[in-house]
Amino acid sequence: MGAVTPIRFLTGLVFLALLGGCAERSTEEGAAPGTGAAPAVVAATTAAEAEVSAKGQTVVVAGVVDGDTIELRSGRRVRLVQIDAPEGDQGECYADEATDALRAILPKGTSVRLEADPRLDQLDGYGRLLRYVVKGEQNVNLLLVRRGAATVWFYHGDRGAYATALLRGAQRARAAGRGLWGACPGTPFDPLHAASTGTAEAPPPSTPVTCAGAISWRDAASHVGEEATVQGPVVGTFFAAGSNGQPTFLNLGRDYPDPARVTVLIWGADRAKFPGPPEDLYAGRTICVTGTIETYQGVPEIEASSPGQIAIAG
């Protein structure tokens, strides 16, 4: 090989310097930190993740935090998007009942699908995932609103894919006095703001007795063994479709597992006598139920074998 001339040697040094500078700039400005990936690769990965998230990611529920937030086995928290439930840490009316309602739908170990909405933010200010939670084919966000366990909240006015259905569900729940709408009178209906149900410490207004001779659900424990008509708000329902006898439970005054509640029991063999699923017919309504008051594990209970035993009072 011939000797390298000074000019060729200097030219090579300049070329290497320029090449090193380009490589350094590419690492600083174009690649994902710590990955060395090029911008096009990062963009493609992000788009792919967004597509998977939009179609739905199956996860397992580790627990319910409050009426609109769950925690996953991975440790991530999910805020159910486009809805809002009363806050327990602020002592709001119906906060405990809202949490119980979500816990009844999504007990620990439930597999659900998380559905992202490209029209909305993907994370909130606390780093929680903003998602629709789907159990089987059931949109839990929408179910909570329809039951009155939450209201609709279009944060910053943003309307997602289910905005119309959520709005209609909230309006119908309010008109029927279901859930928080019946338990917390005066709650404003404002889709652009968070739920404002007032404080739980405020004494609830007395419910007008519209059933002759009815006693309050609070007094049912004093009438065990008697035939009576008990009046109270249905704050929680549950259809145990997979259990022996397929019972339906309507909880008056307090929701399961509060021992101060009164339970109305409808066996599966009697469900066909009702004009619709009892857990939907009576959810959030104030009812008067007539029958013999018994106890089960210390909780007052009335068996209702026909719709004639139950009257809707409000």
Q: Which residues are catalytic?
A: 79, 87, 128
Residue 40's closest CA among 49, 31, 53? 31
Distance CA 232, CA 173 (A): 18
- From residue 24, alpha-carbon distances to 42, 51, 214 in Å are 18, 32, 81
Which residues contact residue 168 at a Cβ distance below 8 angstroms, ignoring those fewer than 6 apart? none
Q: How far is CA 272 from the centre of its chain?
A: 29
Confirm if 303 and 291 have CB atoms less than 8 A apart: yes
H or E stretch covering 200? none
Where are any strands of DSSP class E within 184-313?
215-216, 227-239, 248-252, 262-266, 286-292, 294-296, 299-303, 310-312
Q: How many CA atoms lie within 13 A of 57 on its CB side?
A: 18
Residue 146's closest CA among 162, 126, 129, 160? 162
- CA-based R_g, the chain, Å: 28
Amino acid type, 33? P
